[in-house]
Structure 1
Amino acid sequence: MQATVYNIKGAEVTTVELDDNIFGIEPNAAVMHQALVRQHANARQGTASTKTRQEVRGGGKKPYRQKGTGNARQGSRRAPQYTGGAVIFGPRPRSYEKDMPRKMRRLAVRSALSVKVIEDNLLFIDGFEGLEPRTKSMAEALTALKLNDQKVLILVAERDETVYRAAGNLANVKTLVAGYLNLDDMFKYTKVIVPLGALDVINRILGSSTAAEQE
């Protein structure tokens, strides 16, 4: 599978051969969903906490006598029916972490990349040579690539301060190191810009796939 490569001025410069094991597989929706649920779960802090009756301050004294008041008997102001009392079955600090085999995680990313290819939402460029670390420079590049009205994910082979600074103030643009490519960002952003350097990183991480991994 071949794809056209552009420069940041929007001109075609060459073509690149894409690995069919990464960009041309049958997308596995179930695995993509599982990977996305796992990513969201693992991002949760799990620090939500409420107090039990043992932790609520006060309430050591019986609110009123057992009989003769006409009210229901009560033993403590710590009871959950009182304002400021305990919370029953409330959240407690816990881990929401989910595990997933590495082969399945990589299959999920390959499936998402294949979906992007099917939808024509992957754009390959030769690099960011000539880009200035200014918002205006990145905006002009996106306009030249006809992406100025799209939500764009820009991949880089390694952290590039020029690209980060140029894209940092654009509301619908995010820059991400290719080694951290994930389902959430690929679903959140419509278009993905892949420089050839970032493509090499993707091929190195995901290119060792086998037919058994894709099943």
Structure 2
Amino acid sequence: MEVNVYNIKGEDTGRKIALNESIFGIEPNDHAIYLDVKQYMANKRQGTHKSKERSEMSGSTRKLGRQKGGGGARRGDVNSPVLVGGARVFGPKPRDYSFKLNKKVKALARKSALSYKAKGNAIVVIEDFNYEAPKTKDFVAMTKNLKVNDKKLLVVLSESNKNVYLSARNLQKAHVQTVSGLNTYRVLDAGVLVLTESALSAIDNVLSKKEA
């Protein structure tokens, strides 16, 4: 599959670039995508939830009523879970929600997500670019020139670029990502992928190594 290469002015450079079929043309694996997105969301959870159990409550340990004959459930001190304001039984405790996922599964998930975007004609390839200084209006002008300003964008760069990142930081529908940090969730969440030529080459290098 070949796509046209544009510049930041939205002009067709007259060049075409081929998308690697082993990355952008595979049959998507929905289960791999599910697992990778599940892991991404799980890793974002803080897991700091906590409620007090009976041994952690402060209060008198005096038994409030006699064991039998009261006509209700037996109960102990004021911290009893059966009382309003008492402790909680088997409440949440701080925990780590992250889990392991094989590298090949994660690579398959990313390829599947990229293949979905390629099938949906939601990939735009542009020449490498840079800004002399961070300017949001320059970034907005580029999205308008490429006719993608009304969509949720994921701009993928081969390496970190502070000026480009700062130019897009205030835009709600735009996100700048390097190839090293590219993940399945970000790809699927974007309406359009804007890839620089060097980023496309970097994706080929990274994901092609994980085929074996």
Asked if the contact 1:8/1:125 (under 8 Å) is kept, the reply is yes
Cα distance, 1:69 vs. partner? 6.4
Asked if the contact 1:23/1:113 (under 8 Å) is kept, the reply is yes
Q: How does 1:28-177 map to 2 (within 5 A)?
A: 28-64=29-65, 72-129=73-130, 132-177=133-178
Asked if the contact 1:21/1:209 (under 8 Å) is kept, the reply is no
Cα distance, 1:67 vs. partner? 6.6
Q: Distance in 2 between matches of 1:34 and 1:72?
A: 46
In structure 1, the residue matched to 2:28 is 27
Cα distance, 1:83 vs. partner? 3.0
Whether 2:4 is the aligned partner of 1:4: answer yes
Asked if the contact 1:178/1:201 (under 8 Å) is kept, the reply is yes
Whether 2:193 is the aligned partner of 1:192: answer yes
Unaligned ranges ≥5, structure 1? none
TM-score, normalised relative to structure 2: 0.92
Amino acid at match of 1:193: V
SS at match of 1:54: helix
SS at match of 1:94: coil
Unaligned ranges ≥5, structure 2? none
SS at match of 1:108: helix
Per-residue CA deviations over 1:122-145 (Å, capped at 9, x if unaligned) read 111012245752111111110000
Cα distance, 1:42 vs. partner? 2.1
Q: Distance in 2 between matches of 1:166 and 1:33?
A: 32
Bigger Cα displacement from structure 2, 125-134 vs 36-45: 125-134
Cα distance, 1:82 vs. partner? 2.3
Asked if the contact 1:9/1:144 (under 8 Å) is kept, the reply is yes
Q: How many residues align?
A: 211
Q: Distance in 2 between matches of 1:110 and 1:120?
A: 15
Asked if the contact 2:75/2:82 (under 8 Å) is kept, the reply is no
> 1:121 and 1:132, CA in 2 relative to 1: closer, same or farther beyond 3 A?
farther
SS at match of 1:165: helix
Q: Distance in 2 between matches of 1:207 and 1:72?
A: 66
Amino acid at match of 1:11: E
